[in-house]
Structure 1
Amino acid sequence: MSQRNDGDESDQQESAGIALPSHIAGSGTLDRLVDTARDYARAAASDNTLKAYARDWAHFARWCRMKGAEPLPPSPEMIGLYLADLASGMSLSPSQSASRPLSVSTIDRRLSGLAWNYAQRGYTLDRKNRHIATVMAGIKRKHARPPVQKAAILAEDILAMVTTLPFDLRGLRDRAILLLGYAGGLRRSEIVSLDVHRDDTPDSGGWIEILDGKEGGGALLTLNAKTGWREVEVGRGSKDQTCPVHALEQWLHFAKIDFGPVFTRTSRDGKRALVGRLNDKHVARLIKRTVLDAGLRAELPEKDRLALFSGHSLRAGLASSAEVDERYVQKHLGHASAEMTRRYQRRRDRFRVNLTKATGL
């Protein structure tokens, strides 16, 4: 059993490859194009997404074999039973204890992962098949809950958080991360994927330009985000201590960074910038650490305080704190709809437009 499980992920990696038909295999030019096509295929989704899909397939394949079935070819009936099992938590683990039921969003993601994996193997998974669609509809109707939102980091919160940071090189970097991430409404992956210039590195997710202007200028970020390329303008603040652009300039200057990733790791003593790009998990850890150090939500136990905040707290904080027309916030965050922007606004005047009074009641 373990040998077959060990092969699940390697099977997935092989299936993601592209092969030539046997009657034209061996053609030098076409063989080289196969490698190029594989590179493009891998770039169709982020590394994190591909890893998640690989785990989804490994879990499903293991589940099938525990039930005496095979994952290939796709069986809508078996997949429907698998989804029901995920929602009910009826499966027994090796320790013979029931597994924890998964949330609706996680089950939906698992189903997407299976559809992607089947596509890489040349199969089509019909998610509208009644054995899948009706089970999934029932799961959503019975178990769906409003999305759990992370707390927004408001303007006064971010100011308190940055004051907890030292003024060594690591502190300068972390201050720039928090202020730029907040003012730009950036995802943590967008923060760490920035390069100094366009095309500095193969894994670049965007670059920065520091510009002068009538109102003091600012930093123009060009991002390859989830929804495509977009530009984010981060203006200068009212004072250097809280200005994201000034913090960015300070970090780049003292870290002597003029090429490659904007945010890199530092030496253990925090006095020297290293070459490697910072991992996006650092942003989440930085937020949680400074939230505790700043004493935010001090009335709650530490475990609950940590659970309240994540990388998305920066985006929600900007959306909730910026006193400007909603359409500007929507554009800044790169949202396709105003409704999505409103989901990020934790505090706003919800009853400014009162349709009850407008009808004469």
Structure 2
Amino acid sequence: MSTDSGKPASSENTPIALPTEVAGSGRLDRLVDSARDYARSAASDNTLKAYARDWAHFTRWCRLKGAEPLPPSPEMIGLYLADMAAPSGKAPALRVSTIERRLSGLAWNFAQRGLTLDRKDRHIASVLAGIKRRHARPPVQKAAIMAEDIRAMVACLPFDLRGLRDRAILLIGYAGGLRRSEIVSLDHGKDDTPDSGGWIEILDGGVLLTLNAKTGWREVEIGRGSSEQTCPVHALEQWLHFAKIDFGPIFVGTSRDGKKALERRLNDKHIARLIKRCVLGAGVRFDLPENERLALFSGHSLRAGLASSAEVDERYVQKQLGHASAEMTRRYQRRRDRFRVNLTKAAGL
């Protein structure tokens, strides 16, 4: 098991291995490889990349301070947290959420090397608590794409193959309250590809999505709309028909001339770029400068839009978004009747 201080944990130095007292064999070696594959699947690729960047940042900071990153030193990590919150040089101060994420990344990287980072140690816990108390701010939320916005956005798309695909992406993502990764990970059928994150089943009443999502397996029902122009199920059917997709990834790239669907699954960054492009094309929030409009909307704007626009019982929205609590769902509701229940009057005042 490698403990190289300058390299992030990877499949080559993962702690999944045979005990030293056990003699290797072909069968056992294959089991070790399988176990390593499962260990790599414990976190998403994006999470692993973020943890790798966290480790690279920490080891570079240690080198600049003349310290060693291994073994974990609560005292040094406390100083590292303080330097991120109030840097002495020209580097900008990091947000509390970023600092917490980097601390989680360090804990993960230490664990891959068979080491434990005690986050409750006073040198870490007290410094982090002080940073939160002094610097914490309400989370900056992306703007919700409301119903009138999504209608304008899909209306600005062309009706070529690429436009059919992007229209289906926006409408399915909006009506399903899906994350970017959930949209692009969909396959046509179960077990079509090894990297599938779920599959679809088109029924008379709509489309049923079975998703292996961030919070585990869940089903998402997307009913048919009142108009073909904005019906997510119709848009999906049109894309699948003209792209001739009946197996494998649903949302794939197209040829340069836009006339042929390719086999390559889209990257989730395509969703963010598509949303920003359509926000500009449809004139959403035209009262703001272009750079502010681009910064205001992202992939999460689709989920927030559904939560804010759907005039139904909150429990149904919570189920659609896959949230464990109603409180999390309320964080996505950008526009709601905050004073529908007036406790002041109910208390007799």
The offset of 1:23, in angstroms, is 2.4
CA distance in 2, matches of 1:210, 1:334: 20
Question: Hey, what does 1:20 align to over in structure 2?
Answer: 18
Pairing partner for 1:88 from 79, 86, 89: 86
2:346 & 2:43 partners in 1: Cα distance?
A: 47
SS of match in other structure, 1:265: strand
The match for 2:113 is 121
Displacement, 1:27?
A: 2.5
1:215-260, Cα deviation, whole Å (9 max, x unpaired): xx00000001110000000000001111000000000000000000
The aligned counterpart of 2:139 is 147
Query: 1:72-221 to 2 correspondence within 5 Å?
Result: 72-90=70-88, 92=89, 98-212=90-204, 217-221=205-209
Q: How many residues align?
A: 346
Rounded Cα–Cα distance in structure 2 between residues aligned with 1:221 and 1:12:
33
When the two chains are superposed, the root-mean-square deviation of aligned CA atoms in Å is 1.2
- Match of 2:70, SS state, is coil
- Shifted more, 56-65 versus 157-166: the winner is 56-65
Counterpart Cα distance in 1 of 2:48 and 2:15? 13
Identity %: 82
What code does the residue aligned with 1:257 have? Answer: I
Within a 5 Å distance, the mapping from 1:183-262 to structure 2 comes to: 183-212=175-204, 217-262=205-250
In the aligned structure 1, how far is the partner of 2:153 from the partner of 2:161?
A: 17
Q: Quote the Cα distance in structure 2 between the aligned partners of 1:100 and 1:271.
A: 46
Aligned equivalent of 1:95: none
Query: Which residue of structure 2 aligns with residue 349 of structure 1?
Result: 337
- Residue 313 in structure 1 maps to residue 301 in structure 2: yes
- Given candidates 306, 324, 330, the residue that maps to 2:312 is 324
Give the 3 Å change call, closer, same or farther, for CA 51–29 of structure 1 in structure 2: same
Displacement after TM superposition at 1:66 (Å): 1.2
Q: What's the secondary structure of 1:251's corresponding residue?
A: helix
1:17: Cα distance to partner? 4.5
Q: Aligned equivalents of 1:79 and 1:16: distance in 2?
A: 23
Residues 27-53 of structure 1, C-alpha deviation per residue, up to 9 Å, x if partnerless?
Answer: 322211110000000000000001110
| Aligned match for 1:59, one of 57, 60, 68 | 57
In the TM superposition, structure 1's runs of 4+ consecutive aligned residues that sit over 4 Å from their partners are none
- Cα separation, partners in 2 of 1:121 and 1:25, compared to 1, 3 Å: farther
Give the structure 2 partner of residue 281 of structure 1.
269
Q: Bigger CA drift: 59-68 or 172-181?
A: 59-68
CA contact (8 A) 2:15 2:113 kept: no
- 1:239-291: per-residue Cα shift (whole Å, max 9, x none)? 11110000000000000000000000001111110010011000000000000
The answer (yes or no) to whether the contact 2:11–2:40 under 8 Å persists in 1 is no
- 1:38 is the counterpart of 2:36: yes
TM-score of the superposed pair, with normalisation by structure 1? 0.94
**Which sections of structure 2, spanning at least 5 residues, go unmatched?**
none
Q: Which residue does 2:7 correspond to in 1?
A: 8
CA contact (8 A) 2:11 2:36 kept: no
1:100 Cα offset (Å): 1.0
Q: Classify 1:57/1:13 alpha carbon distance in 2 versus 1 (closer, same or farther; 3 Å).
A: farther
Distance 2:7 2:199 in 1: 37
What amino acid does structure 2 have at the position aligned with 1:341?
Answer: T
For 1:265 and 1:14, locate their aligned partners in 2 and report how far apart those are by CA, in whole Å.
32
Could you say what secondary structure the match of 2:209 adopts? strand
Q: Which moved more, 1:27-36 or 1:38-47?
A: 27-36
The one-character-per-residue Cα deviations of 1:116-154 (angstroms, maximum 9, x if unpaired) are: 011110111110000000000000001100000100000
CA distance in structure 1 between the partners assigned to 2:328 and 2:20 by the alignment = 48
Structure 1 residues 51-107: Cα deviation after superposition (integer angstroms, max 9, x where no partner):
1101111111111111111111110000000000111122x4xxxxx2111100000
User: SS in structure 2 opposite 1:208?
Assistant: strand
Which residue, out of 278, 291, 297, partners 1:303? 291
- CA distance in 1 between partners of 2:15 and 2:150 (Å): 45
* 1:57–1:280 distance in 2 versus 1, CA, 3 Å: same
* 2:38 partner amino acid: Y
Instruction: Note if contact 1:16-1:120 (Cα within 8 Å) is conserved in structure 2.
Output: yes
Alignment correspondent of 1:339: 327
**In the aligned structure 2, how far is the partner of 1:147 from the partner of 1:235?**
32
